[in-house]
A and B are shown apart, each in its own frame.
Chain A
Amino acid sequence: MIGNVIKYEQDNIDTDVIIPGTYLKIHDYNELATHAMEGLDPDFPSKVKDGDFIVAGKNFGCGSSREHAPIALSTCGIKAVIAVSFARIFYRNSVDGAFLLPIEVDEETYKKISNSDSLEINIETNEIKNITKNETYSMKPFSEIIAQIISAGGLFKYKK
């Protein structure tokens, strides 16, 4: 999986900035996506390209249980969020609905990746190749349950 990086050098990017509460009434995913990251970066929907990755610091997706958060990002084209750590519900929501991959990396890797870098993520080998910088990093492997849900294609296909 190859994509370009949109980096936010921040910890605690919460679900209220990913998709503000007022939009949780929206049922249509495409309309929801026009408000993705509105609380942090209102230009996000216009600059994001299909296949892009978000890179951020610790505790990404903290706050609400709204599945609208990974839905909004994924509908915009985000295929993975690479972060130092994730809040639990966002993490599970991302894989349960097969919306995007939540990938954990160490602090050092997070610092090495720059905005606009082109990355290749390989979840078989747990490696992230930085094509722009010609570097290779390791990602934290998924736990057994998460790996199984991801390979099944979501919670409902898992153990069906």
Chain B
Amino acid sequence: MTETLFEKIWNSHVVVERDDEPSLIYIDRHLIHEVTSPQAFDGLRVNNRKVRRPDLTVATIDHNVPTTDRSLPMIDETSSTQIKTLEKNCKDFGIKLFGINDPNQGIVHVIGPQLGITLPGSTIVCGDSHTSTQGAFGAFAFGIGTSEVEHTLATQTLWLEKPKTFEILATGKRKNSFAVTSKDIILSIIKQIGTDGGTGHVLEYRGDAISDLSMEQRMTICNMSIEAGSRAGLIAPDEKTFDYLNNRKYTPKNYDDLVDDWKNNLMTDANSKFDKTFTIDVEKIEPQVSWGTNPAMVSDVTSKVPTPEEFGNNNEIQIESAKKALSYMDLKPDTPIVDIPIDRVFIGSCTNARLEDLKDAAEIVKGKTVNSAVSAMVVPGSQMVKLQAEELGLDRIFKDANFEWRESGCSMCLGMNPDILKPGERCASTSNRNFEGRQGSGGRTHLVSPVMAAASAIAGHFVDVREWC
């Protein structure tokens, strides 16, 4: 019988499966952070339960940490309390924590792979929707809520309905592989399948255009799977995957044996059936810029802001949502995308704050200066990314161009720390969500790739970044 990669991972983790009932699935790795875990630990205490496998549980602090000088006391008391609560919970329950001043601190989905905690064929959960990022390694990695965090802490398992499978076949070759990035590929996919196109499904990205991507680029694709509503995103592991995870801090000692096993097992069998399939030719993809308030409201950089009718395609609700989005974004239909001026630039987040992202952005910025009307910042995804970037001199390039160079964390992606937009400010952001108020109440977010964000910071408006490299 042929099986898809997802079905193989699922089947190898089933603890209990009966007809017409949910399945109990074993969880290999549980990552936690300060925001979605406090109530889960409260629940354990109330019921006098322990953490079943503290050795499979890892914590870090990322969502509300300040990205400014961390030797200073935190100004925000509620954030400080939340951080101290996680520190206490980890201490009480014996969980490894990469704390605020740890050299391995960083955004949870950046440090998992970087430390070799994320492994092919495993099940990984975290109380964070962008856990899907780690599917780039051929893991079934998905976001859960706090009740499920508590259930995982207590039992190392979860009751789940088996998701359906959805093949995303990416063919062709990008015309300019520096300026047209994996961010542009995933935004193009979401634009076409919609914000609920993947609901109830695990997306498996396949095809030459996916194999062609580096691990970090693959993570950007899987990261945004959740923006299409899917349970998770998945890419079959290959030599790039095995090389990436080799010799990391927590890479297992029997790594070579594991790799042999993964090579034999972790792929979708030929002629396997997916519940759904979607094909995209990446040769046709241009740099993308979002104009609206969800990640499907996206346009080619050479096009114009659509009219609500063009976007809505006879669907009344869609037309109304486009009108509302344009009003919130203060944009007029038919405005060329390259004529939209910006106030802020944010290069960061679990989507695009890894070393390659920063290297590519620095390549654009080198020797230039941020437009005087723009304030721009770079927030590395982890302390390790920051250090590696500094060793390459990227911090100098950004600082010389008037970018701020910050400490690692989620930062302006979700506006939980002081890094927020002021009402009405317009930001070119490498993050994942352009929802109303996401980056601060009244703030306006345009989702773009790191190279697009960098070039826009210099120009003061969006540009066809293909002309810059």
Contact = CB atoms under 8 A, between A and B. Distances in A.
Nearest to A87: B229
B64 interface: yes
Given A14-B435, A65-B36, A156-B43, 7 more contacts: A12-B321, A25-B82, A66-B35, A67-B39, A92-B148, A96-B147, A148-B22
A135 interface: no
A141 to B, nearest CB: 13
A50 to B, nearest CB: 22
Contacts of B440: 22
- Interface size range of chain A in the complex: 35 or more
Interface in A45-81: 57-59, 62-67
Among B145, B160, B321, B435, max chain A CB count under 10 A is at B145
Contacts of B129: 63-65, 89
A10 B196 contact: no
Interface string B146-178: 111011000000011100000000000000000
A12 B195 contact: yes
B433 A97 contact: no
B144 A89 contact: yes
Contacts of A127: none
Among A12, A16, A66, A143, max chain B CB count under 10 A is at A12
Contacts of A12: 195-196, 294, 321
A65 B161 contact: no
A143 B23 CA distance: 13
Contacts of A4: none
B127 A85 contact: no
Contacts of B78: 25-26
Contact of B145 (A20, A25, A57, A93): A93
14 contacts: A14-B294, A14-B433, A24-B416, A25-B82, A58-B317, A62-B294, A65-B145, A67-B145, A87-B196, A87-B229, A89-B143, A92-B144, A92-B145, A93-B145
Contacts of A9: 317, 320
A124 interface: no
Interface string B131-152: 1000000000001111110110
A88 B199 contact: yes
- Interface size range of chain B in the complex: 35 or more
B81 to A, nearest CB: 8
A96 B148 contact: yes
Nearest to B437: A39
Interface string A19-52: 0111011110000000000011000000000000
Contacts of A10: 317, 320-321, 324
A11 interface: yes
Nearest to B77: A25
Interface in B41-63: 43, 47, 63
Contacts of B39: 27, 67
Interface of B: 20-22, 35-36, 38-39, 43, 47, 63-64, 76, 78-79, 81-82, 85, 127-129, 131, 143-148, 150-151, 159-161, 195-196, 199-200, 229, 231, 294, 317-318, 320-321, 324, 414-416, 420, 433, 435-438, 440-441
B317 A21 contact: no
A68 to B, nearest CB: 8
A59 B229 contact: yes
Contacts of B127: 65, 67
A117 B200 CA distance: 31
Nearest to B146: A67
Contact of B231 (A11, A26, A88): A88
Given A59-B199, A87-B229, A156-B43, A17 B148 contact: no
A40 B436 contact: yes
A143 B159 contact: no
Contacts of B143: 65, 89
Query: Which 10 pairs show the lowest CB-CB distances between chains A and B?
Result: A145-B22, A96-B147, A93-B145, A67-B146, A67-B145, A65-B143, A25-B78, A59-B196, A21-B414, A16-B435
A39 B321 contact: no
Nearest to B410: A21
A59 B35 CA distance: 24
A108 interface: no
B16 to A, nearest CB: 9
Nearest to B416: A21
A148 B129 CA distance: 24
Given A10-B321, A14-B435, A155 B200 contact: no
B416 A66 contact: no
Contacts of B144: 65, 89, 92
Contacts of B435: 14, 16-17, 39, 63
Contacts of A59: 195-196, 199, 229
Among A25, A92, A93, A97, max chain B CB count under 10 A is at A25
Given A10-B317, A14-B294, A88-B199, A155 B82 contact: no
Contacts of B317: 9-11, 57-58
Interface in A116-160: 143-145, 148-149, 154-156, 158-159
B145 A96 contact: yes
B159 A145 contact: yes
A35 to B, nearest CB: 11
B101 to A, nearest CB: 20
A85 B437 contact: no
A24 B131 CA distance: 18
